[in-house]
Amino acid sequence: MKTISISKAFTLSACISLVFVVTGSADDLVPLKLKLPAPAFIGTPKDVPAGSNIEPPSTKPKPPLMVPSDVQNIAPQAKISCSDSNTQARALTKITDGDKEALDESMVLVRKGIQYVQFDLGTSRELYAIAVWHAHDTAKIYHDVIVQVADNADCTENVRTLFNNDITDECGRGAGKDKQYFETFEGKVVDAKGEKARFVRLYSKGSSESALNEYIEVEIYARPAK
């Protein structure tokens, strides 16, 4: 009968333990559950501009993003700033007040042109999902939507791009490869993939209906950085 050495037995045991650890981590993932607002319009756009970089609308619900079970929406605790100096801090708090309905009183208006809103999380966090609702009263398309995270307020240190559909680099943040999309009550959920960062910055440049930049709600799902 063959015997196995103590060192080999230890190695085998360690490998088995590692398998259990990895399996347990995977089992800890759960679907991200978002509280969605009421749909503001019925149906999908009839005409999609020919040759455009636009994600075709779907009549099926989007599959949920899988995230660790202990993540929470930390956006309401963040300090919010904006590139538009005319947008007051009190108005910006509406972006995280939980009201996602497609109503004028739920919306924050930011001046036209390339603008951003930024969230200071206070300390570095593990980010897993960033959900954004622009004005979804109609199926409009927002231009040059970019989601970036960074280690400093100027968004220049350790910058990572999570989403970018600015394919012509109008914003000067690099040309993106993501598709444009029609706004709906489901919002846009960006997979942050566990990136560690303190600052989250969201760019846009108006929409197919207005030169103004509009925001209804932003949610940032994260947990303390390990």
Does 24 fall in a domain? no
Does 195 fall in a domain? yes
Structure tokens at 32: 């991200």
Does 61 fall in a domain? no
Instruction: Return d(Cα 201, Cα 153) in angstroms, integer.
Output: 9
Instruction: Return d(Cα 50, Cα 139) in angstroms, integer.
Output: 17
At 126 the pLDDT is 98
Q: Are strands 213-215 and 217-224 parallel, antiparallel or unpaired?
A: unpaired
Instruction: Classify the phi-psi angles of 194: left when phi > 0, otherwise alpha if psi is within -120 to 50, otherwise beta.
Output: left
Query: pTM of this prediction?
Result: 0.86
Count of structural domains within the chain: 1
* Amino acid type, 121: L
> What is the CATH number for 89?
2.60.120.260
At 26 the pLDDT is 43
Give the number of other CB atoms < 10 A from CB of residue 48: 14
Instruction: Return d(Cα 92, Cα 202) in angstroms, integer.
Output: 13
Does 160 fall in a domain? yes
At 4 the pLDDT is 44
pLDDT along the chain (226 residues), means of 10: 44 42 59 96 67 78 93 98 95 97 96 98 98 94 97 98 97 96 95 98 96 98 95
Residue of 195, 163, 191, 197 whose CA lies nearest to 178: 163
| Domain span including residue 178 | 31-41+70-224
Does 36 fall in a domain? yes
Does 206 fall in a domain? yes
Does 52 fall in a domain? no
Angle CA 155–65–95, to nearest 5: 50
Instruction: Return d(Cα 27, Cα 48) in angstroms, integer.
Output: 40
Does 199 fall in a domain? yes
